[in-house]
Amino acid sequence: MEFTAQDLCNFLNGKLEGDPSVKVYKPAKIEEAAEGDASFLANEKYTPFAYTTKASVLIVNENIVFDKHIHPTIIRVKDAYASIAILLDQYKSINKRNNGIETYAYISPKSTVGKNAHVGAFSYVSDDVKLGDDVQILPHVFIGKNVSVGNNTILFPGVMLLDDCVVGNNCIINANAVIGSEGFGFVPTEDGSYKKIAQTGNVVIEDNVEIGSNSTIDRATMGSTFIRKGVKIDNLVQIAHNVEVGENTVIAAQSGIAGSTKVGKNCVIGGQVGIVGHLTIADGTKINAQSGLAKSIKTPNTALTGSPAFEFALSMRSQVVYKKLPELYQKILDLEKELIELRAKN
C-alpha cells in the first residue's frame, strides 16, 4: 500500500494539516510507528505519544487540541477510531487479495466460479457449487455439493463448508470453522441405546457475517439453521441444529446455543454463555459472560447475568447482600442468644 497524505485525507473525507505529499505505506500503533506509517489517536490517554511518535501521518478526532508542535502530518476526521477501521480494512484487502486458481486445487467441472475468484492449493470444490465474484477460497478448504458462496466472501484455510449450505455476500469465515456439520440428534431406544436422527437440512448464512476460527454451526434436522445478516461470531462457538441467530447479534468465544433456540436481533452474548434449546430470546438482550440461560426472554433489551441467568440489576443487588451474609449470620446468632436469655429471665 502506498498513499500520500492527501490521498489518505481524501479517502477518509478529512481535513489535512501539514505536508500533503508525505507518503505512507502501512498502518501502525502510535507508540510503535516509524517513518512511512499512518497511525491514529482516538483515546486521550494516548495523547502524550502524539509528541513522540515517528509516524508520518496521524489521524485524529477533529476537535482534539495539541498544546505544542507535533511531527506528523495531521488528518482530522469526525471519528478517528472508525477511520482507522476503514483504513485497516482497505490495507488488508489490498495486501491479502489473490486471484486465479492455484496448482493442486480441485474444482468440479459441474461447478461455476465467478469473476476474479481465487481458489487456493489443496482446496476441493464439489459438484454443483456456485462461487460468486471476488470470492477468496484459501488453501485446504473443503466445499461440499450444492453449496452457494456469495460475492466477496472469504473462506480461510481449513474451513469445511458442507453439502447444501448457503453463504451470502461479504462474509468472512475464519480458519477451521465447520459449517453444516451433523446436528446432535439422537432418540433413546428401549434398550437404553441411542438411535441417530438423520439431519437433512442445511445452514443459511446471510450477508456481512463473520464467523470465528474453530466455530461450528450444525445443519438443521429439517429446514435451515439461520445466521442472519450482520451477525458476528467469535472463535470456538457452537451453534446447534435449527437455531436462528438474529440480525447484528454478536456472540463471544466458547458460547453454545442448543437446538431450535431463536435469538433476536442486536443481542450481545458474552463468552462462555450456555443457552438451552427451544428458547426465544428477545431483541436487544444482553447476556453476561459465563451465564446459563434456561428460560425464554420476552422483554426486549433485558440485561442478564448468572447461572441460571436473571436480570443484571437484581443480580448486582443480590451480590451486595451476598457479601454481607457472614455479618448478617452473626447478627442472627446474636439475636438468637438474646432471645434465649430473655426467655430464661421470663
Residues of the chain with pLDDT under 50: none
The reported pLDDT for the residue numbered 99 is 80
pLDDT in tens, 172-191: 999 999 999 998 999 999 99
- Per residue in 206-257, pLDDT tens? 999 999 999 999 999 999 999 999 999 999 999 999 999 999 999 999 999 9
Residues marked as catalytic: 241
Which pLDDT score, from 0 to 100, does residue 95 have?
60
What pLDDT, on the 0 to 100 scale, is given for residue 94?
A: 66
Query: What pLDDT is attached to residue 314?
Result: 79
pLDDT at 90: 78
**pLDDT value at position 317?**
82
- How far apart are the C-alpha atoms of 59 and 70, rounded to whole Å? 12
181 vs 141: CA distance, rounded Å: 15
C-alpha closest to that of 211 among 154, 265, 164, 283: 154
Beta bridge partner(s), residue 154: 136, 172
- Tell me the whole-structure pTM to 2 decimals: 0.78
